[in-house]
Amino acid sequence: MKTVYIIRHAKSDWSIDGQTDIDRALNARGYNDAHNVGKAMKGKGQVPQVIISSPAIRALTTALILAEEIGYPKSEIRIEPLLYDTDAHEYEKVLKSISNSAGSVAIFGHNPVVSDLSSFWAGKLVDMPTCAVVQFRVLTDKWSHLSKENVQFVDLLVPKMI
């Protein structure tokens, strides 16, 4: 059995005119929410063995903050270009590429993809505000066998619930 945490990046800063989308940073609320979500995950024992992030600054910063809070080595965060400006199939492709030795993974990305994938897997609408975490149990020992049929919704954590 495996565990997937799908995490939407924290709240981003829109105050810089002309800034490219990929370079947008977090705002103050985003930093605060990322720290709080990381602490909450650690407190619940939700500590992924692998962290993979979109290369967008807001997603990577969220991943770095969460890694700090759970004690994950920041240098081991995998930056995956396939998680930026893409679709749910690419997210699944990235997840299926994980080494079977890893029992759990956190994947940091963007809406609408994270909400679409979470809703598809859960079989119901999953609203993912910024910095939300959806936990799924994967009923297989091989990441390559990941599919909607062997994924079970476990938990939704949103900053407002902390």
- Order of strands, sheet of 151-157, starting from the edge strand that comes earlier in the sequence: 78-79, 50-53, 104-109, 2-8, 133-138, 151-157
pLDDT band for 134, please (50, 70, 90 cuts): very high
Residue entry with tokens 């938990």: 155
Could you tell me whether strands 78-79 and 133-138 are parallel, antiparallel, or unpaired per DSSP bridges?
A: unpaired
* pLDDT number for residue 162: 84
DSSP state at residue 22: G
Cα–Cα distance, 64 to 16 (Å, whole number) = 22
- For each of the domains in the chain, give its residue range(s) and CATH number, in order of start: 2-161 (3.40.50.1240)
Residue 161 has pLDDT above 90, yes or no: no
Residues 53-104: tens digit of each pLDDT: 999 999 999 999 999 999 999 999 999 999 999 999 999 999 999 999 999 9
Residues 27-61: tens digit of each pLDDT: 999 999 999 999 999 999 999 999 999 999 999 99
Residue 112 has pLDDT above 90, yes or no: yes
Contact 153, 134 (CB under 8 A): yes
Contact 84, 20 (CB under 8 A): no
Cα torsion 35, 153, 1, 88 to 10°: value is -80
Nearest to 77 by CA among 139, 152, 7: 7
* pLDDT number for residue 115: 97
Question: Token pair for residue 33?
Answer: 């929410």
* pLDDT number for residue 44: 96
Cα–Cα distance, 31 to 126 (Å, whole number) = 23
pTM of structure: 0.97
Residues 146-155: tens digit of each pLDDT: 999 999 999 9
